[in-house]
Structure 1
Amino acid sequence: MTAPKPRGGDILAIAAQNKVNWSGLDQTCINAIRVLTIDAVQKANSGHCGLPMAMAPVGYLLYTRFMRHNPKNPEWFGRDRFVLSAGHGSMLLYSLLYLTGYDVSLDDIKQFRQLGSKTPGHPEYGVTEGVETTTGPLGQGFGNGVGMAIAAKHLEARFERDKSGLFDHRIFGICSDGDLMEGVASEAASIAGHLGLGNIIYIYDDNHVTIDGHTELSFDEDVCKRFDAYKWHTQVVEDANDLTALSKAIEKAIKETSRPSLIRVRSIIGYGSPHKQGTSAAHSNPLGVEEVKLTKEFYGYPTEPPFFVADDVLAHFHECVERGEDLEHAWNAKFAAYSKKNPAEAAEFQAALATDLPTGWDAELPVFTPKDSLATRVSASQAEAAIGKKVWNLFGGSADLNESTFTDVKDGGDFERGHFEGRNPHFGIREHGMCAILNGIAVHGGFIPYGSSFLCFTDYARPSIRLAAMMELQVVFVFTHDSIGVGEDGPTHEPIEHLSSLRAIPHLTVIRPGDANEAVEAWRTVMTHTHGPVLLALSRQKVPTLDRTKMAPASGVRRGAYVLTESAGRPPEIILIGSGSELSLVVDAKAKLEEKGKSVRVVSMPSENIFEKQDQDYRDSVLPPGIRRRLAVEAGAPMSWYRWVGLDGEIIGMTTFGASGKYEEVMKHFGFSVDNVVERALKLLAR
C-alpha cells in the first residue's frame, strides 16, 4: 500500500515516509489505537480523530515504555501522571486506557460520546478511571499539569528521606497548537520555567492545523524559542512516526531534572487518511465510511469488523498490567521500609492523602468582639493563619497581591527554585494560570490548595474556577475587594455582576461573610467542605463586628443563612436580608425601624449556595413563606436575590458600574446607607 499523498509541504512529505524501525507488532499496536479512534468517531458521528491518528505513536510509547502506572490501581500514589491537555483528542486516551487494561471496556469505546458513557466527548475527571483531570478548554490541562508538578515537588521536599525515590513521579502531557495559543498555558509555562519544575515532560503536537485551516493564519511563532525564554528544556522530533527519535527525546527529557521539558513533535493530523490527512478536514469530523476503509487499508489493518483488536495486540498492551503491579509492589515495599524508619512522616503523609484534618486543627481560631472593627479580608486572614499553623497542607499563594489579600503563611518560606519546601508559592500577576495550577494541585492529592486576588479579577480566571467546580475539587479561592467598597480604585476594580454570576456556577460555593466572626466561620466551613470549591468574597473596608451576646452566633454561616436578630414581642412584619459589608447596614436599619414601631427580622445570608441545599423546613424557618415583605441589601448585581425576596420583595443592589471616591461616599451615593434601607423598607411596608 503506498503512502497517502502528503499535504502541507516538504515536512509532511518527510513524515509520511513513516520511518518506523521497531517491530511490526509495535506498529500494529499503534495502528490499533488509530483504528479504535476512527471507528468510535465514525459510530458516534461526532468527535476528533485527527490528533489520535497523528499522536498514537507518542501515546503508545508513554503508556507501554516510559510511564510508571498501574492499570489495576489508577489511584496508586507513586504513578506518573498523564494529562491530555488537548482534550478534544480524547479517543487517544480512551483507546490507551482500554488497551492497557484500565476499567474501560470495548463496549465503553463503542459508546463514545453517548449519554451516560465512560467515554464522554472530552476527558472528565471522576467519570473515567485513569483520567487525571478534566480537559477540553484548551490550555487548562497544561496549567493543571504544572500544579501537579508543584504538588509533587513540595511533597518530595517535605517527606523525602535517604533518596528513597518514593516521591519522584513525573507529569507527562500532550498539548496542541491550540493549547499554546491560549494565554493560560503561557502563564503556567512561565511559572514552571521560573521554578525549574524538572518533573514536567510535555509533548507538543505540532501539526500546523486548526479548525479554520493552517496555523499560519494566526500562529507562526517559533514555539521552542518561546519556551527557551521561559527556561524550559526544548527538543524537536521531526516525525511523530519515528519511534527511535521519540524514545531518545523522551529519555533525554526524563534525565533533565532541573528544567521542565517540551518536545516539539512534527505530526500529520489524521495520518493515514488518503484525502484528509494534513488538513483541517481531519480535525473534528468523522472520516466517512469510505475514508475509514481506505485508511485502514493504508495501515494494513482489517477493514472489518469495526473495533477489531487482534489477540496479540491486546496481549502486548496488557503487559502494562503486570509491569504496573510490579512497580506498585516495589513502591509499597519501599514505603513500608520508609514507614518503619520515619513513622511520624509516613503517618502525616498518609493523613494528607486521605484529606484527614489533624486533631485540634481549629483550636486556635480567633473570636472577635464588638471592639474589633476589621475588614473581613483581615479577620479571614487571621483565621487562615490559625489553621495554617495546624494544617501544613493548606498550601497556596496570591496573584502578586498578598499585600492586599493577606494570605501568605507567616514564616512558611517561599516555594521557589531549589526551595520546594516553602509554603508560599508566588503566582505572579497570573490569575488564570494560578487557578488552573490550583486545580492541578487538588487533583494530584495531598493538599487543600488556595489562591487569592481581587474579586473583579475572577473574570481572568473564570474558566479555571468553572472547571474546579465541574470536578468538585477542594480548592479555596480567596477574593478580596468584593464590592464598590473598594472606593478610590474605581469601577475597573469594583465587582458588580461577579457575585451573582459566580453563585450560578454549579458546585461552587460562594461565601460572603458579614463581620469578623462570620469570616472565621467561613474558613471553618472551607476546611470541611470536601466536595467542590469554595470562594470567599471579602471586604477591603472595615466592617463592624456584631455583638453576638445580643444576636445569633456566627456558626449559622455553616447553614448558609440564619436569623441574626429580630424584634421581640410580636411576629416580624418585614425581613431584611444582608450579606457582607452590608449586613451591618440592615442591623442598624432594624433599630431605626423599631423606633418607628415596626417589627423586623434580620437574616444574614453569607452563602446562598449553602442555604439552598438546606431542607425546606429550615429554609422556611429562616424565611417564613407568610412573611412576604422582604428587602435584600447587597452592593452587587441583584439577579441572585430574586429567589429569596419573592414577587413582593425588593432589592437594594447595583445596576450600574461603580465610581472612584472615598468608599463611604461611594456607598452612600449608590444607596447603601442606613437611611436608604429604612426608607425603602417603609415604602415596602406601606404597600
Structure 2
Amino acid sequence: MGQQDQNIDSLCINTIRTLAADVVRGGNSGHPGAPMGCAPMAHILFKEFMIANPKESHWLNRDRFVLSNGHACALQYILLHLLGYKLTMDDLKQFRHINSKTPGHPERDHTDGIEVTTGPLGQGISNAVGLAIAEEHMAATFNKPGFELFNNHTYVILGDGCLQEGVQSEACSLAGHLKLGKLIAIYDDNHITIDGDTALSFTEDSMKRFEAYGWHTQTIPDGDTDLQGIHKAIEAAKKVTDKPSIIKLRTTIGYGSLHQGEETVHGSPLSEDDIRQLKEKFGFNPDEKYVVPQAVYDFYHKIGDRGAKASKEWHELLDKYCSKYPDLGADLKRREKGDLPKGWESVLPRYTSKDKAVATRKLSEATLDALANAIPELVGGSADLTGSNNTRWKNAVDFQHPSTKLGDYTGRYLRYGVREHGMSAIMNGLAAYQGIVPFSGTFLNFLTYAWGAARLSALSKSRVIYVMTHDSIGLGEDGPTHQPIETLALTRATPNMLTLRPADGNETSGAYLVALERNDGPSVLSLTRQNLPQLEGSSVEAVRKGGYILEPESDANPDLILVATGSEVSIAIDGSKLLRKKGLKVRLVSMPCTELFDEQSRDYRASVLPKGVPVVSVEALSTFGWQKYSHAQVGMSTFGSSGQYTDVYKFFNITPEHVADIGEKCVQFFKNEGHVPELFPQFAPALQ
C-alpha cells in the first residue's frame, strides 16, 4: 500500500469518525463509539470489496451490506451519503429527528440503501443468513454457463451484543450446515456493552463456537490501524466457498475520544470539548461541523462508479440471457418487479359443503401444493414440524448443499430445525433479497418464540407468510404449554400484520389469496389440527373483506348476530340452529380477518354488523379485543387444559349450547334495557 493510498485511507476513516461524532451530537442521542471504532473495517470493506450502485440501489446482483449492530447506524448513514445514495448532508443533520431519513436504527425501505431493518440485536446477522440463502437459490435457479447472473456476497458488521442474542446462534448454526460460502461477517470485538466491559458477562470463545457451527474463522488483533490485515482477512474469506466466514477484529470503541475504550462512548453523544480535541487530533478544524473534504467525496464516488459499471454490465448480460433463455429471463424480470405470475389465483382449491371435513392445516397443504407450481418464487419451510404443519408440497426439493445429497440449492423447501426465531429472521432476509416469497411453519403458540423477528416483518413491510398450525385449545392433549390463548390478540394488535383464521377450505384458499396479494406486510395464518366441515356460503374472495355474512337471517332484521372465526364458525352455526328453534332470527358472520374488516367502508361494516342488533363473538382463544365487535364473548380467559379436544371444548364451555345460551341472554338483556349500545369505535366517524 503506497503512501498516497495510506493518506486517503486515513483521511476517509477520520472523516467518518469526526462526522459520526457530529451526527450523534446533532441528534443529542445515539451511539458514537461503534461508528468511530468500526470506521477502518467499514472503509476497507467498501473501498476494496463492496459492489453496489448508489444510482440503482435495488439491482439484483448487488452485494448486500447489513449493519447488525444497528445502534451504530450513524456509520451506515455516513457511508451511504459519501457513496452518493439518496441521503444528503441535511439528512445527516436530522439524525434521530421525527420523519427524517436517518432514524435511530436502520429501517428497510425507509432509507435508500438499507437492506434490512436492524436494531434489535442479532436480527441483522440472522437476516443476512436469509440474504445468503436467497443468493445461492437464485444462482442455482437462473445461472447458466457464461451467464453468472447471481454471484453477490453478503457482508455483515456485528458486535458483542449480536453474538449474545439467541436468534443469532440459531441462524448461524443453520448457515454453517448450509455451507453458505458467500456470507462474510466482521465482528467488531470492542469488549464493550451498555453495562460495561464484556468481562462482566460475555467471556466465551466465540470463534470456537463458530468453528463448531462450520464457519471459517479469522482473528485480527489490531482492527484500529491494521488496514492491510483487514484487507487480507476479507480477501481470504472470499476464497473460502464452502463455509460462511467470520472475522474477529479487536477494536477500540470511540477511537480518538478522550473516553475511548469505555462504555461512556457507547450510548451517549461526545461532549463538545471531546469533539473539538478529536478533530484537532485528526487534523480537522474544531470550529467546523459536518465536514467532508472534497477528496473524500471524490474517492467514495469512484467506489459508486465501480458499482454503476457493474450494474450496467449486469443488465447487458441479462439482455443476452433473455435472448438465449427467454422463459427464464421473463420469469426473472417478473420477479424483479415484484409481480406474481398471471393467473396464479386460478389454481386455488375451491370446495362445496358436500366435500369432507378436513383440518385447515391439511387444507393449507393442498393450497400450497397447488401454489408451489404456479408461483416458482414461493420458498417454504418448517421449524422441524413438517409433518404437523403440512408445509411441504408433493414434489418439493430440499434446499441443501449438494454435498449432503439431501437436496441442492435449487430446492425451495428449507429444513430450519428447531429454530423458530432464527427461521423467522431468515425469512425477513429472504424477502428482502427480492424475487422470493417466503413462508414457514410452526405451532401458533411458538410464534411468540419468534416474535422479535415477526414484529420486524411488519415494520419492514415484508411479504412473509407465517403458517401457524395447532391454533387453539383444539390442539388437545399437549395441553396449556402448547395451546395458544393470547397469541392472536398480539398479532391483531400489531400494525401492518394480517391475522387470518379460516373456517374451512374456501377460506383457507382465501387466506393465501390475501397473503400473497399483500406485498407490503406479513400475514399470520392460524390453522387447526382438528377437522372442520366445509361450510355452505363460504367464499374464497369474501376473505378479502375480512368479515362477511355466511348465513343470513330469515329477513333483514336479525334478533342476534353470531360472529366467529376458524374452528368456532361451525360451533356458532350449530348454536344458531338451537336459537332458531326458539324463534330467534340469527345472522351468522364469519370473520377470518378483523384487520381487513376494519379496512372496509363504514357502510359495508354496518351492513354486516348493523346498529341496534346484539352481537356475540365466538373464538377459542382470548376474548381480548372482541369487545370492539361484540357485546358478549364466548372464548377463553384462562390458559387451556390437556385432554381430548372435544372434552377441552366442553370443559371451557365453548359449545353450541353455551353459544345459544349466551345469545338468548344477550337478546333478553337488551330487550329489558330498551336499547342495544352501538359498538365502538368501528362505526364511529373517523377522527381527523
Match of 2:371 among 387, 397, 417: 387
- Look up the match of 2:399: 415
- Look up the match of 1:676: 658
Match of 1:158 among 134, 141, 165: 141
Q: What aligned pairs does 1:440-479 form with structure 2 within 5 A after superposition?
A: 440-479=429-468
Q: 1:685 to 1:257 in 2, by over 3 A?
A: same
Aligned-partner residue type, residue 552 of structure 2:
E
1:653 maps onto 2:666 in alignment: no
- 8 Å Cα contact 1:21/1:244 also seen in 2: no
Aligned-partner residue type, residue 644 of structure 1:
Y
Report the CA distance between 1:615 and its aligned residue.
1.2
Q: Distance in 1 between matches of 2:20 and 2:100?
A: 16
1:425 maps onto 2:414 in alignment: yes
Match of 1:489 among 471, 478, 482: 478
Report the CA distance between 1:304 and its aligned residue.
2.2
- 8 Å Cα contact 1:21/1:243 also seen in 2: no
Match of 2:345 among 354, 362, 382: 362
- Look up the match of 1:519: 508
Q: 1:172 to 1:660 in 2, by over 3 A?
A: same
- Look up the match of 2:624: 639
Q: 1:600 to 1:329 in 2, by over 3 A?
A: same
1:525-568 per-position Cα deviation (integer Å, ceiling 9, x unaligned): 22211111111000011111112xxx353421111000111221
- Look up the match of 1:614: 600
- 8 Å Cα contact 1:566/1:599 also seen in 2: no
Q: Distance in 1 between matches of 2:373 and 2:544?
A: 23
1:27 maps onto 2:10 in alignment: yes
Q: What aligned pairs does 1:15-94 form with structure 2 within 5 A after superposition?
A: 22-94=5-77
- Look up the match of 1:581: 567
- Look up the match of 1:565: 551
Q: Distance in 2 between matches of 1:267 and 1:685?
A: 71
1:157-177 per-position Cα deviation (integer Å, ceiling 9, x unaligned): 011100432200010010000
Larger CA deviation: 89-98 vs 324-333: 324-333
Alignment RMSD, CA only? 1.3
Task: Name the count of aligned residue pairs.
Answer: 661
Larger CA deviation: 407-416 vs 141-150: 407-416
Secondary structure of 2:625's aligned partner: helix
Report the CA distance between 1:22 and its aligned residue.
4.7
- Look up the match of 2:202: 219
Match of 1:400 among 374, 379, 384: 384
Secondary structure of 1:682's aligned partner: helix
Report the CA distance between 1:399 and its aligned residue.
0.2
Larger CA deviation: 353-362 vs 403-412: 353-362
Secondary structure of 2:481's aligned partner: helix
- 8 Å Cα contact 2:510/2:539 also seen in 1: no
- Look up the match of 1:300: 283
1:45-77 per-position Cα deviation (integer Å, ceiling 9, x unaligned): 100001000010111112222100111111111
Q: Distance in 2 between matches of 1:621 and 1:197?
A: 54
Secondary structure of 2:86's aligned partner: coil
Secondary structure of 2:347's aligned partner: coil
- Look up the match of 1:597: 583
| Percent of residue pairs bearing the same amino acid type | 44
Q: Distance in 2 between matches of 1:209 and 1:69?
A: 31
Aligned-partner residue type, residue 266 of structure 1:
R
Secondary structure of 1:580's aligned partner: coil
Report the CA distance between 1:127 and its aligned residue.
1.2
- Look up the match of 2:359: 375
- Look up the match of 1:111: 94
- Look up the match of 2:673: none
Q: Distance in 2 between matches of 1:46 and 1:364?
A: 52
- 8 Å Cα contact 2:321/2:329 also seen in 1: yes
Aligned-partner residue type, residue 161 of structure 2:
G
Report the CA distance between 1:676 and its aligned residue.
0.6
Secondary structure of 1:414's aligned partner: coil
1:451-503 per-position Cα deviation (integer Å, ceiling 9, x unaligned): 10000001110111100000111110000000000000000000000011111
Match of 1:247 among 231, 236, 239: 231
Match of 2:84 among 87, 101, 106: 101
Q: Distance in 1 between matches of 2:151 and 2:70?
A: 26
Aligned-partner residue type, residue 246 of structure 2:
L
Larger CA deviation: 365-374 vs 51-60: 365-374
- 8 Å Cα contact 2:502/2:566 also seen in 1: yes
Secondary structure of 2:260's aligned partner: coil
Match of 1:198 among 181, 191, 201: 181
Report the CA distance between 1:576 and its aligned residue.
0.4
Q: Distance in 2 between matches of 1:523 and 1:39?
A: 48
Match of 1:667 among 640, 649, 654: 649
Secondary structure of 1:567's aligned partner: coil
Q: For structure 1, which runs of at least 5 residues remain unmatched after alignment? A: 1-18
Report the CA distance between 1:368 and its aligned residue.
2.2
Q: Distance in 2 between matches of 1:554 and 1:362?
A: 10
